[in-house]
């Protein structure tokens, strides 16, 4: 990792905690060359290319894969219980995969802070899940497993339709709120001795509803979705959910991420329009990329919507070190 990428690496951690992305202070020589070259390229030529891409067919490869994984993962819980096949017992907060403990990192944190006593099973389950998401990419949990993410994605479609019809506007909210809520919920668990966040976690509520049947708690999830549809796009995942931040921190060191290639990018910004966390894609803005290839930061959920939507293939899934190994 060169000095430019190193600086961006730390910048992106700050961005995850809520800082707005800034214009880079320094850009590597090869990247600078490309930026200059792009400025000199015939604008009409680019526009023609853009139009051609706009007419091209929409791809949903990664989205479909992701939805399949998410649905299968959640149904595995459901059917393990319903059919008593005992593959994945429990709920998303804590479970056993053919006997091995798996415990959601944020739930584990809440319990540890509230109860102030940690038993062996809790440590085993937490460590297993930590390693799992360290390998699979931190916030991949959000987009590939969390059931709330899926329903929020559908709500987002309604929201975007309403925005297009000019019936609502997306009211953005300060992203530092998520860091605040992480701290407040951790402090509340520690101070009150109750796992306060767990009582409103839509991930836990939905997971339990899928396995043990619906309850009144779904009203809270519904309230969140209504807020997101009519008021603020993906508000819970973007601005409030401490689970996302917990997994985001795990993702800092994860080898799985989206990689951005500067030279092929047309800077149309389609990726930023579909992205849950567009602040991680600031690098695709004209003149912002600090190097010819830039890994996307830890707040990225690795959902692959940008990969699907990018008409030039400038955004791809990447496993750090794997290309070197092969």
Partner 1 sequence: MSESKPPNGAQPPDTPPPSRERVRQARRRWLRTILLTGGVMGAALSGFLPLVYARTKRLRPPGALDEKDFLSSCIKCGQCVQVCPVQAIKLADLVDGFGVGTPYIDAREQACDFSCDAVQCILACPTGSLVYKKPAFLGSRKGARLAAAPILKAKEKDAEPTLNLSERIGVARLTRPEACLAIQGKGFKGQVRGPSFKGRMRYMEVNRWKPIGVAEHPYDLAECDLCVRECPVKGAISIETVFAPDGSKRKSPVVHEPCVGCGVCEMICPVEPTCIVVDAREVWNT
199 touches partner 1 by CB under 8 A: yes
Beta bridge partners of 100: 97
Nearer to partner 1 by Cβ, of 141 and 185: the residue is: 185
Tell me whether residue 219 or residue 322 sits nearer to partner 1 (CB atom): 219
Is 64 or 86 the residue whose CB approaches partner 1 more closely?
86
Contact flag: residue 74 with partner 1 (CB under 8 A): no
Region near partner 1 per CB under 8 A, out of 33-41, 138-146, 224-232, 300-308: 224-232
Q: In three state form, how does the secondary structure of 57-111 look? A: CCCCHHHHHHHHHHHHHHHHHHHHHHCCCCCEEEECCEEEECCEEEECHHHHHHH
Contacting partner 1 (CB under 8 A), which of 81, 97, 130, 230?
81
Q: Does the footprint of partner 1 cover residue 274 (CB under 8 A)?
A: no
Q: How far apart are CA 326 and CA 304, in angstroms?
A: 23
Q: Can you tell me whether residue 146 is helix, strand or coil?
A: coil
Q: Quick one: 160 or 319, whose CB is closer to partner 1?
A: 160
* Of residues 151-180, those binding partner 1 (CB under 8 A): 171-175, 177, 180
Q: Distances in Å between the alpha carbon of 292 and those of 35, 50, 77, 259, 287?
A: 10, 21, 43, 10, 11
At residue 34, φ and ψ (nearest 5 deg) are -65, -40
Q: How far is the CB of 320 from partner 1 (least distance, A)?
A: 26
Answer whether 291's CB lies under 8 Å from 33's CB: no
Site for partner 1 in 99-138 (CB under 8 A): 101, 103-104, 107-108, 111, 114-117, 119, 121-122, 125
Query: Residues 135, 188, 252, 319: which binds partner 1 (CB under 8 A)?
Result: 188
Binder among 158, 210, 217, 319 for partner 1 (CB under 8 A): 217
Q: How far apart are CA 216 and CA 210, in angstroms?
A: 13
Task: Yes or no: say if 12 and 280 are a contact pair by the CB < 8 Å rule.
Answer: yes
Nearer residue to partner 1 within complex by CB, 122 or 150:
122
By beta-carbon proximity to partner 1, the closer residue of 136 and 284 is 284
197 binds partner 1 (CB under 8 A): yes
Residue 203 DSSP class: H
Q: Which of residues 24-63 bind partner 1 (CB under 8 A)?
A: none
Q: Which residue in 40, 83, 98, 216 binds partner 1 (CB under 8 A)?
A: 216
Looking at residues 294 to 323 of the shown chain, list those that interact with partner 1 (rule: CB under 8 A). Answer: none
Shortest Cβ distance from residue 268 to partner 1 (Å)? 8
Backbone angles phi, psi at 213, to 5 degrees: 100, 155
Q: Which of 93, 140, 309, 314 binds partner 1 (CB under 8 A)?
A: 93
| 206 near partner 1 (CB under 8 A) | no
Enumerate residues 6+ apart whose C-beta is below 8 A from 120. none
33-35-40-46 Cα dihedral, nearest 10 degrees = 130
Candidates 34, 129, 205, 306; binder of partner 1 (CB under 8 A) is 205
CB atoms within 10 A of CB 303: 23
CB of 255 to partner 1, least distance (A): 27
């Amino acid at each position: 990792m060169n000095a430019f990428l190193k600086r961006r690496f730390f910048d992106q951690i700050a961005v995850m905690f809520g800082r707005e992305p800034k214009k880079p202070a320094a850009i590597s020589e090869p990247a600078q060359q490309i930026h200059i070259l792009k400025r000199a390229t015939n604008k009409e030529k680019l526009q023609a290319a853009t139009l051609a891409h706009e007419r091209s067919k929409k791809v949903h490869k990664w989205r479909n894969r992701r939805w399949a994984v998410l649905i299968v993962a959640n149904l595995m819980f459901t059917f393990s219980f319903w059919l008593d096949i005992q593959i994945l017992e429990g709920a998303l907060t804590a479970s056993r995969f053919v006997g091995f403990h798996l415990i959601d990192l944020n739930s584990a944190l809440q319990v540890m802070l509230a109860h102030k006593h940690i038993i062996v099973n809790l440590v085993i389950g937490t460590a297993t899940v930590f390693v799992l998401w360290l390998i699979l990419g931190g916030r991949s949990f959000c987009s590939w497993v969390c059931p709330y993410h899926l329903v929020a994605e559908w709500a987002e479609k309604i929201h975007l339709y309403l925005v297009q019809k000019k019936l609502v506007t997306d009211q953005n909210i300060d992203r530092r709120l998520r860091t605040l809520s992480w701290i407040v919920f951790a402090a509340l668990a520690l101070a009150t001795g109750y796992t306060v966040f767990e009582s409103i976690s839509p991930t836990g509520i939905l997971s339990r509803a899928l396995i043990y049947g619906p309850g009144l708690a779904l009203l809270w999830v519904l309230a969140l979705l209504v807020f997101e549809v009519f008021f603020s796009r993906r508000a819970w995942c973007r601005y409030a959910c401490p689970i996302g931040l917990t997994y985001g921190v795990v993702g800092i060191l994860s080898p799985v991420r989206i990689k951005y290639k500067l030279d092929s990018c047309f800077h149309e910004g389609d990726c930023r329009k579909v992205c849950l966390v567009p602040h991680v894609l600031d690098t695709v803005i004209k003149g912002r990329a600090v190097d010819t290839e830039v890994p996307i930061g830890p707040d990225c959920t690795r959902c692959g919507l940008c990969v699907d939507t990018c008409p030039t293939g400038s955004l791809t899934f990447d496993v750090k070190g794997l290309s070197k190994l092969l």
